[in-house]
Amino acid sequence: MPVAQPSKDIVDKLVYANRILYDHGVVDGLGHASVRHETAPGVFLLSCNRAPGMVRRQDIVCYDYDGNAVSDTAERPYLERFIHAEIYRARPDVMAVVHSHSPSVLPFAITNNALKPVFHMSGFLGEGSAHFEIREAGGNTDMLIRSSYLGEALAKSLGHHSCVLMRGHGSTVVGTSLEQAVYRAIYAEVNAKLQLAAQPLGEITFLNKEEAQLSSDMNDGQIPRSWNLWINRLGNIDLDA
Amino acid sequence: MPVAQPSKDIVDKLVYANRILYDHGVVDGLGHASVRHETAPGVFLLSCNRAPGMVRRQDIVCYDYDGNAVSDTAERPYLERFIHAEIYRARPDVMAVVHSHSPSVLPFAITNNALKPVFHMSGFLGEGSAHFEIREAGGNTDMLIRSSYLGEALAKSLGHHSCVLMRGHGSTVVGTSLEQAVYRAIYAEVNAKLQLAAQPLGEITFLNKEEAQLSSDMNDGQIPRSWNLWINRLGNIDLDA
Amino acid sequence: MPVAQPSKDIVDKLVYANRILYDHGVVDGLGHASVRHETAPGVFLLSCNRAPGMVRRQDIVCYDYDGNAVSDTAERPYLERFIHAEIYRARPDVMAVVHSHSPSVLPFAITNNALKPVFHMSGFLGEGSAHFEIREAGGNTDMLIRSSYLGEALAKSLGHHSCVLMRGHGSTVVGTSLEQAVYRAIYAEVNAKLQLAAQPLGEITFLNKEEAQLSSDMNDGQIPRSWNLWINRLGNIDLDA
Amino acid sequence: MPVAQPSKDIVDKLVYANRILYDHGVVDGLGHASVRHETAPGVFLLSCNRAPGMVRRQDIVCYDYDGNAVSDTAERPYLERFIHAEIYRARPDVMAVVHSHSPSVLPFAITNNALKPVFHMSGFLGEGSAHFEIREAGGNTDMLIRSSYLGEALAKSLGHHSCVLMRGHGSTVVGTSLEQAVYRAIYAEVNAKLQLAAQPLGEITFLNKEEAQLSSDMNDGQIPRSWNLWINRLGNIDLDA
């Protein structure tokens, strides 16, 4: 039985999310964003194998927790759809996932340093970022999360965090909405850039746990202001082309 | 009794200020610029809760020193209008205020280092930047200046300086005109970037007090040259849309 | 006897390669990309002396291993066509070559440090980059590879590597296709930027040899996704103007 | 007697030079480029007080060595025209001058470090950059070269170099043609950025004197390639508006 058709709204929002992430340099030709299906349990929406900056409505496919397409598609899937599948399986609270190789976050991933919140915009990093070492789960690999097994290991490393850094690869953030996950992907990058820049100046006073929590709660109410700007920056785009 | 309608000139200038700050990367979806009302005592102009890069004429609202709207508006205000309100209350010499999270300034704010003038363009930093630690005034917070109480504490930290760095948050600059405040926000960022870049090269010779003062006085006469360029960079924009 | 006319496809692809490299900041007014002739042995295609971002179909010239034009042209050649000629002569496996002064790679070239793969996208750097010191071959020079003799010395330094850093000059990457060589030029730069940024954070865990090989093999299958994006970024361009 | 009208060619070239320098981020609202008059001895062309990115044909004014306008103009001059005047007076070989606050060069100026050539493109830095400390000539000032006296002191610091760094201010480069001076301003910035980036990686092998001289001579023949690209980047611009 085919999965219920996702709403036009959620499809459009996912197309926008992809274009926004590209416009902000969080993704280049690689990386992907997904969102849970609004009504079908155990299903999420993700583009077929296409550069995020070029994703169109017709590229959005529904997948189940095993990474199998459950909507009609003749297109090749992303090799790493298991990142999304296994996080949705393990974290019922997660409604959206963004995976990227964003450039300021990677230095932390490859040196096993944690992101920590330098300002209120990144309060969601209050618990610090988690770290994933693929060698522990899979030995020597091509670094990709190309199976349910590796996806499960990544989800385990993520635990209850909002962000997991992946050694030799990139990072993945999660959110309770697509807007929030996009926001977190953008500000994980901003936070990382600030942490790197501040390093030579002396000891950084990070937000403490309570400040981080209060900031994060407050920020969630401000996301629409940024989301509107991000859509506006894209100009007049055709979501079908 | 409603406040006198601000002139079209000052409203347009404030819209331009918002767009210029966005165009220069001083603000992203967040941050705000304000200017004193030309005739109404104790009143200033500030956009409603909107990304600076999208601010239009119709978004400009008049507020009093307590952060209450004194012109007609159905729009949500910025949570942090108290930054502006309390600085205008404490500093009669201040005619305009810019608050931002500009990226090169933040590393100084979070490590408690001061900005100091590296060249004539930033002579206004001659006394160095002030530093604000919100924990001293408010304990653990969401980092926002969301009350008159916190605004007053910030204004106190600012003192007679032109710039105050806010730990875990950003910075605020003030000026005797809107053009000057915008200039200072842009060149505080430029100065910070230069200070960061020069750090590994050895000891920086900063402008001394007299050089800073002379430079700052001289620069004020040159601001129109930059302001014209900044307007020109925006191209043909519609201030109503 | 004149060389067989190269196909329209390969000429167009080479024009695109030049424009893409410029669009990505890998080359500025200088630098060049070449590809082997599809049917003529010992012949390769390279633009005449023109900035890569302005290369058009009519600028593409065929050269032999001695750097002599073997197709009709009245245009001045690049002084450094010997980089390409001698690498094609020495490495039958190489189908395309990109020479650039890309800005994050140069710091490694001038300090004799090697690029090593920090993530799967740069698995092609698994053996590290090679290093070329022109003084060893030519004493004091204008740094250019302006003869078969210097080209041969460079090809020898390159050896079986995918990338050679050239002290006081830039770098050269090779690939088994034009798309792959362009990909490698872009991600050599990305990798270098990441290595530089990670340096102050502590020890980098590089991909090991097996991870690098597996990643490199895997990535080759993903290049079309990026190539399509890179073409798309250029917008509607006229390859004849 | 009024000075001979400069040719349309040289005026247009100077307008382009201004726009190119802005397009490359060498100048912002401030900075200026000048060129010697082709036929009138002791006269040079420079814009009136206007942001370089907005300079038009009608803004170009002729000045003599004392900084007096010798062509008709009602416009305010640059305060620092004496930089140009005194260098032309002291250095008959100099045909063009560019003064800027370019961002990667300033860290060297304010820490009294010299630019040295890291690659062939900056062979013109073979003697290193000179350094100017305005306090030695003028005590505490507003940092500007606003008199013949200070201009003369700057020209003396420049000596026979191609580039002088000005503490607390910026830098000035000279050339034997306008294209060469623009080239040098752009590549002084590129070289500085590379020197900064390479610093943490270990000892830099700079070009030696002979390599620098040979590179510089060779590069002069390649400037048209870059100049054409720089013009092309500006798109369809109106030199009168």
C209-222 pLDDT per residue, tens: 999 999 999 999 99
- Residue among B234, B92, B59, B240 at smallest CA distance from B176: B92
What is the rounded CA–CA span in Å between residue B216 and residue D142? 8
Angle at D22 between CA D19 and CA D24, to 5 degrees: 110
Going by pLDDT thresholds of 50, 70 and 90, the confidence category of residue A2 is confident
The contacts of residue D175 (CB under 8 Å, 6+ apart) are D94, D95, D96, D97, D98, D162, D181, D182, D183, D184
Q: Is C240 exposed, middle or buried (0-12, 13-18, 19+ CB in 10 A)?
A: exposed
Cα separations in angstroms, A188 against A224, C125, D237: 18, 27, 40
Tell me which residue has tokens 């200088």.
C30
The CA-based diameter of chain C, rounded to the nearest angstrom, is 60
Ramachandran angles phi, psi of B22, nearest 5°: -70, -45
Q: Give the mean model confidence (pLDDT) for residues A84-110.
A: 98
- Residue among B213, B144, B150, B227 at smallest CA distance from B181: B227
D215 touches chain C (CB under 8 A): yes
The answer to whether the Cβ–Cβ distance between C228 and A49 falls below 8 Å is no
B132 forms bridges with which residues in the sheet? B166
Strand ordering across the sheet containing C43-47: C60-64, C43-47, C32-36, C96-100, C170-175, C163-166, C130-132
C60 forms bridges with which residues in the sheet? C47
Query: Which chain D positions have a beta carbon within 8 Å of B228's beta carbon?
Result: 51, 54
Cα separations in angstroms, C8 against A86, B30, C11, C38, C96: 46, 50, 5, 11, 17
Going by pLDDT thresholds of 50, 70 and 90, the confidence category of residue A3 is confident
- Residue among D45, D49, D50 at smallest CA distance from D64: D45
The string of DSSP codes covering D44-91 is EEEE-SS-GGG--GGGEEEEETTS-B-S---SPPPTTHHHHHHHHHH-
pLDDT value at residue B1: 57
Query: Which chain A positions have a beta carbon within 8 Å of B21's beta carbon?
Result: none
Element spanning D99, H or E: strand D96-100
The answer to whether the Cβ–Cβ distance between C215 and A143 falls below 8 Å is yes
The answer to whether the Cβ–Cβ distance between C225 and A51 falls below 8 Å is yes
What is the rounded CA–CA span in Å between residue D169 and residue B135? 38
Query: Considering CB atoms only, which of C51, C110, C199 is closest to D119?
Result: C110
Element spanning D9, H or E: helix D8-23
Distance, C-alpha A140 to centroid of its chain = 25
Confirm if D143 and B208 have CB atoms less than 8 A apart: no
What is the rounded CA–CA span in Å between residue A98 and residue A44? 13
- Residue among A110, D201, D117 at smallest CA distance from C113: D201
Query: Considering CB atoms only, which of A119, A123, A232 is closest to B54?
Result: A232
Query: Which chain A positions have a beta carbon within 8 Å of C204's beta carbon?
Result: 110-111
What is the rounded CA–CA span in Å between residue D21 and residue D29? 11
For the cut 60, the answer to whether the pLDDT of residue B105 exceeds it is: yes
D210 touches chain C (CB under 8 A): yes
Tell me which residue has tokens 């003038």.
B117
Distance, C-alpha A100 to centroid of its chain = 7
What is the rounded CA–CA span in Å between residue C139 and residue C137? 6
| DSSP assigned state of C127 | T
Q: What pLDDT digit, counting tens, does each position of C160-180 carry?
A: 999 999 999 999 999 999 999
Confirm if D99 and D179 have CB atoms less than 8 A apart: no
Strands A130-132 and B96-100: unpaired
- Residue among D109, D145, D101, D193 at smallest CA distance from B205: D109
Query: Considering CB atoms only, which of B200, B201, B226 is closest to D29?
Result: B226
C192 touches chain A (CB under 8 A): no
What is the rounded CA–CA span in Å between residue B184 and residue B207? 16
Strands D43-47 and B130-132: unpaired
- Residue among C225, C202, C188 at smallest CA distance from C114: C188
The contacts of residue D95 (CB under 8 Å, 6+ apart) are D35, D36, D175, D176, D177, D178, D181
State whether the Cα torsion D69-D75-D78-D84 is positive or negative: negative
Residue of chain C nearest A195, judged by CA positions: C201
For the cut 90, the answer to whether the pLDDT of residue C154 exceeds it is: yes
This prediction's pTM: 0.97
Neighbours of A233 (CB within 10 A): 16
Query: Considering CB atoms only, which of A29, A103, A107 is closest to C225?
Result: A29
Query: Considering CB atoms only, which of D119, D207, D215 is closest to C106?
Result: D119
What is the rounded CA–CA span in Å between residue A15 and residue A11? 6
Tell me the HSE value of D26 on the side-chain side, using a 13 A CA sphere.
Answer: 30
Tell me which residue has tokens 């690999």.
A141
Q: Is A92 exposed, middle or buried (0-12, 13-18, 19+ CB in 10 A)?
A: exposed
What is the rounded CA–CA span in Å between residue D191 and residue B5? 53
D62 forms bridges with which residues in the sheet? D45
| DSSP assigned state of A27 | -
Mean pLDDT of chain C: 97
For the cut 90, the answer to whether the pLDDT of residue A97 exceeds it is: yes
Q: Is the ipTM of this complex over 0.85?
A: yes
The contacts of residue C92 (CB under 8 Å, 6+ apart) are none
Q: Which residues of C are catalytic?
A: 80
Neighbours of C93 (CB within 10 A): 8
3-state secondary structure of A166: strand
D99 forms bridges with which residues in the sheet? D32, D172
For the cut 60, the answer to whether the pLDDT of residue B102 exceeds it is: yes
| DSSP assigned state of D139 | S
Neighbours of chain A (3+ CB pairs under 8 A): B, C
Q: Give the mean model confidence (pLDDT) for residues B12-23.
A: 98
| Test the D interface: residue of B225, B230, B232 with most D CBs within 10 Å | B225
Q: Could you tell me the two tokens for C55? A: 């290369």
pLDDT value at residue C1: 57
What is the rounded CA–CA span in Å between residue D161 and residue D145? 19
The contacts of residue C148 (CB under 8 Å, 6+ apart) are C66, C67, C82, C85, C86
For the cut 90, the answer to whether the pLDDT of residue B139 exceeds it is: yes
pLDDT value at residue B2: 73
Q: What pLDDT digit, counting tens, does each position of A135-191 carry?
A: 999 999 999 999 999 999 999 999 999 999 999 999 999 999 999 999 999 999 999
Residue of chain D nearest B118, judged by CA positions: D168
Q: What is the pLDDT along chain D (241 residues), one digit of tens a residue?
A: 578 999 999 999 999 999 999 999 999 999 999 999 999 999 999 999 999 999 999 999 999 999 999 999 999 999 999 999 999 999 999 999 999 999 999 999 999 999 999 999 999 999 999 999 999 999 999 999 999 999 999 999 999 999 999 999 999 999 999 999 999 999 999 999 999 999 999 999 999 999 999 999 999 999 999 999 999 999 999 999 9
The yes-or-no answer on residue A80 being catalytic is yes
pLDDT value at residue D2: 73
- Residue among C47, C9, C53 at smallest CA distance from C234: C53
Confirm if A22 and C232 have CB atoms less than 8 A apart: no
| Test the C interface: residue of A113, A143, A167 with most C CBs within 10 Å | A143
User: What share of chain B has pLDDT > 70, as a percent?
Assistant: 100
Residue of chain C nearest A194, judged by CA positions: C197
The contacts of residue C209 (CB under 8 Å, 6+ apart) are C126, C127
| DSSP assigned state of A2 | P
Query: Which chain B positions have a beta carbon within 8 Å of D80's beta carbon?
Result: none
What is the rounded CA–CA span in Å between residue C163 and residue C173? 4
What is the rounded CA–CA span in Å between residue D172 and residue D100? 6
- Residue among C162, C17, C186 at smallest CA distance from C91: C162
What is the rounded CA–CA span in Å between residue C157 and residue C182? 21
The contacts of residue C217 (CB under 8 Å, 6+ apart) are A142, C123
| Test the C interface: residue of A105, A111, A196 with most C CBs within 10 Å | A111
The answer to whether the Cβ–Cβ distance between B140 and A208 falls below 8 Å is yes
Confirm if D95 and D36 have CB atoms less than 8 A apart: yes
Tell me the HSE value of A170 on the side-chain side, using a 13 A CA sphere.
Answer: 23
Mean pLDDT of chain B: 97
What is the rounded CA–CA span in Å between residue B2 and residue B5? 9
Question: How close is the nearest chain C Cα to the Cα of A169, in Å?
Answer: 5
pLDDT value at residue C3: 87
User: What share of chain C has pLDDT > 90, as a percent?
Assistant: 98
Confirm if D151 and D83 have CB atoms less than 8 A apart: yes
- For chain C, positions 38-97, list CB contacts with chain D under 8 A: 49-51, 53-54, 79
User: Helix count (H) and strand count (E) of chain B?
Assistant: 8, 7
Query: Which chain A positions have a beta carbon within 8 Å of B53's beta carbon?
Result: 229, 232-233
| DSSP assigned state of D132 | E
